[in-house]
Structures are given as structure tokens and as C-alpha cells.
Amino acid sequence: MTVTTKSDGRVALVTGATGGLGPAVVEAFERAGWQIVRERRGDLRSSLRWFDAADPAAVGRAVSAAVSSYGRIDALLNLVGTWKPQPSIAEVPDALWDEMFSVNLKTAFVVSRAVVPQMLKQRSGRIINVGAKAGERGTARNAAYAASKAGVLALTESMAEELKGSGVTVNAIVPSVIDTPANRKSMPDADFSRWVPPEHIAATMLFLCSDQAASITGERVRVFNRA
């Protein structure tokens, strides 16, 4: 089977486009002919500005601006996420717990909720969330992150069930450790060769947004490398 990832000018809304994973994803989709809509500051080519992806009002305005500018949203790539070193569960502060859930889980929910009505109107769309290996099996001193990413996986599966038959698919990429500058800085003694290159995740997302992946929904696509 020949897999064609070239786009006919489809539109992807990418949150977290400037994060560790974002640039590789944006580059892959642009190379395949996608129009990329992302939060920007001071860019006259876009009606969007920087917005808080956990703020429903700000997200609503951003999605409306995207539809007004491009007429449709064919894919939503929820890339916003964070990780920080964490203490034992008895020492996790409320602020750290709340941050993990706000950045990793709430953003995916809020932006998806805003985009789904437009995709239902089109009767087509792709939503891709980013889970984590730790979200499938928690690890010590990682409780807040693992719990938030487990929520992302549950959200993905619930949305997929709700949207079956609508033309909208929802899937999750489940990486181990992504090879980003931030992760290298946080874990300088790790074996980086075992980690997942962002380009590999970008290519997987591009396939999930292709016509050949129209029958794939509610799946956890594991991208672990050797980590």
C-alpha cells in the first residue's frame, strides 16, 4: 500500500507550536502542503495572537479567528505539555499538581471542545493528543505528570467513542521520552540515543491525518524507541 501524506491545502490548528515537539511537527506538515494555524505574536499573516490554551474564552476567540481566516479546521494537534522533576507524593505541592493538569490535560480538553463543532459541521477532522508512556504506567516521583497524561489518554478514548461515525477521528501519540533541548537539560546524564526524535512523532502524526488513517480512531500509538 502506498501512503500519501501530501495535503491539498488542508488546515491544521497546532497548539504548543513553539515547544520542544512543535517545530518538527509544523515543519513536517508544512512540507506536506498543510496550512498551519498557530498562536503567534505580531505576525501580520495571522489573525491569531498568543493565547492561553487553558482559557476557554481565549481559545474560543482563536478558533473563531482560524475558521474566519481559513474556512475550516481539518486537524487539531494538541501539543501543549510540560514536565518537571517531581518529589515523592507526600511532598508534591498543590501548585505543581495543578500545573500538570492545567497544561497537559485541560488544554487538550478546552481546545478540542472548541474545535469539535466545526469538525462536525464539516463531517471530517482529525484530533491528535499527546499522551506519555508514564500515563499508561505510573512511575515513582512522577505522580502529577503521570496522572495528567493518563487523563489525556482517557479523554482521547472518550472523544473517539462519542465521535464515531461523524468523520472525526481522535487518537493519541504515546511517546516515551522525546529528545528535546528541555529534556536534555533536565536529564543531562541520560542516554539520548534511546529517546524519540521529534521528527518521528511528526511523521506519525502526519500519517494519522492522512486519508489512509480514516479508519483509525481511539488508538494509542506508541512511539518509544528504546526508552
227 residues of the chain, pLDDT tens digit each: 334 555 678 999 999 998 999 999 999 999 999 999 986 544 434 445 567 899 999 899 989 989 999 999 999 999 999 999 999 999 999 999 999 999 999 999 999 999 999 999 999 999 999 999 999 999 999 999 999 999 999 999 999 999 999 999 999 999 999 999 999 998 999 999 999 999 999 999 999 999 999 999 999 999 999 99
Could you give the residue numbers annotated as active site? 145
Query: Residue 25: which CATH number?
Result: 3.40.50.720
* The dihedral sign for the CA sequence 205, 211, 217, 221: negative
Residue-level pLDDT at 48: 52
Would you say residue 6 lies in a domain?
Answer: no
Strand, coil or helix: 140: coil
Would you say residue 170 lies in a domain?
Answer: yes
Residue-level pLDDT at 44: 39
**Nearest-angstrom CA–CA distance, 225 and 193:** 9
* The dihedral sign for the CA sequence 36, 201, 3, 156: negative
Measured CA to CA in angstroms, residue 199 lies from 28, 49, 196, 213 at distances of 8, 26, 8, 19
177 neighbors 195 (Cβ within 8 angstroms): yes
Residue-level pLDDT at 2: 38
Closest CA to 152 of 217, 89, 107, 216: 107
Would you say residue 205 lies in a domain?
Answer: yes
Would you say residue 69 lies in a domain?
Answer: yes
Q: Which domain holds residue 188?
A: 11-223
Structural domain total, the chain: 1
Would you say residue 201 lies in a domain?
Answer: yes
Strand, coil or helix: 36: strand
Would you say residue 3 lies in a domain?
Answer: no
Residue-level pLDDT at 51: 74
Closest CA to 139 of 89, 198, 190, 82: 89
Would you say residue 5 lies in a domain?
Answer: no
Would you say residue 70 lies in a domain?
Answer: yes
86 neighbors 130 (Cβ within 8 angstroms): no
Residue-level pLDDT at 122: 97
115 neighbors 76 (Cβ within 8 angstroms): yes
